[in-house]
Amino acid sequence: MKKLKIAIFDLTDCEGCELELINLREKLAKVAEQTDIANWRFASHNHDLGPFDITFIEGSPITEGDIEAVKQARAASRLVVALGSCADLGGLQASLGAKAWTQGLKEVYGEKYQTKSKPPKPLSYYIDVDLHLPGCPVNQNELANFLSSLIMTKRPEEARFPVCLECKAKENSCLFLAGKPCLGPITKGGCQAACPSRGLQCWGCFGALRGGNHHAFKSNLEKKFGQEKTKSLLKNFFSNQEEFKSLYPREE
């Protein structure tokens, strides 16, 4: 069987999703046997420029150079995968919005600073993305299953259930009963309810659940926690998603 030729590129991010890939260890060794990892700055000396069967891109494109690089990667790849929430959603850094991004740079570097960066956007803002593997960071089990599917030339399936489903399957006590907010009901599952299982709220890093009742959930959150807190919770990871835009149509 012909080996799949894979590239892994990274942009502006913390590289945590690539670390999760490395943390797969034995599973990654098996993947490496069945694929040709042709370009991976983080963990390989190979710097092949393509063409590739599958290209994973981690991080947000924020400079003209990044945008050009992702366009070239797109042109050289049969399938492009957005690896992690920075690539899939723009990441936490996108929640600032254009105005606060520019203002923040001025506060840190001074009024005269000329930045080459643009406010972070999801990869799909610049190129067509075939597959999405969300999470900040991506979940190891999901990543392993995703890679196995690709090797077997099966299209990995996106989760169509909320974090709550996995949370209830683990018999966790719901954080709302303790008066704490949690975005589990409207967040795409796949992380095995990583945060609520440790007593922490879900922040939505897997992205908004398609088909979730976002308007009803927003109004319930507002009743309990107020408009400002609700908006800031929803903005963290959802700010570039259609669901957030429909909740806050006037937002930049």
Residues that bind ligand SF4 in the complex, under the rule CB under 6 A:
13-17, 58-59, 84-86, 91, 136-137, 163-164, 167-168, 172, 174-176, 182, 184-185, 187, 191, 193-196, 202-206
φ/ψ of residue 205, rounded to 5: -70, -15
Classify burial at 67, counting beta carbons within 10 Å of its beta carbon; exposed 0-12, middle 13-18, buried 19 or more. middle
- Closest residue to ligand SF4, Cβ-based? 184
Contact between 237 and 203 under an 8 Å Cβ cutoff? The reply is yes
φ/ψ of residue 178, rounded to 5: -95, 10
- Nearest to ligand SF4 of 4, 133 (CB atom): 133
Minimum Å gap between C-beta 179 and ligand SF4 is: 12
- Nearest to ligand SF4 of 53, 58 (CB atom): 58
Taking phi over 0 as left and psi of -120 to 50 as alpha, with beta for the rest, 60 belongs to: beta
Minimum Å gap between C-beta 166 and ligand SF4 is: 8
- Nearest to ligand SF4 of 4, 167 (CB atom): 167
- Nearest to ligand SF4 of 5, 207 (CB atom): 207
- Nearest to ligand SF4 of 53, 59 (CB atom): 59
Minimum Å gap between C-beta 173 and ligand SF4 is: 8
- Nearest to ligand SF4 of 55, 85 (CB atom): 85
- Nearest to ligand SF4 of 61, 84 (CB atom): 84
Long-range CB contacts (within 8 A, 24+) of 167-173:
167/193, 167/196, 167/197, 169/193, 170/197, 172/196, 172/197
Contact between 202 and 221 under an 8 Å Cβ cutoff? The reply is no
Minimum Å gap between C-beta 199 and ligand SF4 is: 9
Minimum Å gap between C-beta 164 and ligand SF4 is: 3
Minimum Å gap between C-beta 2 and ligand SF4 is: 30
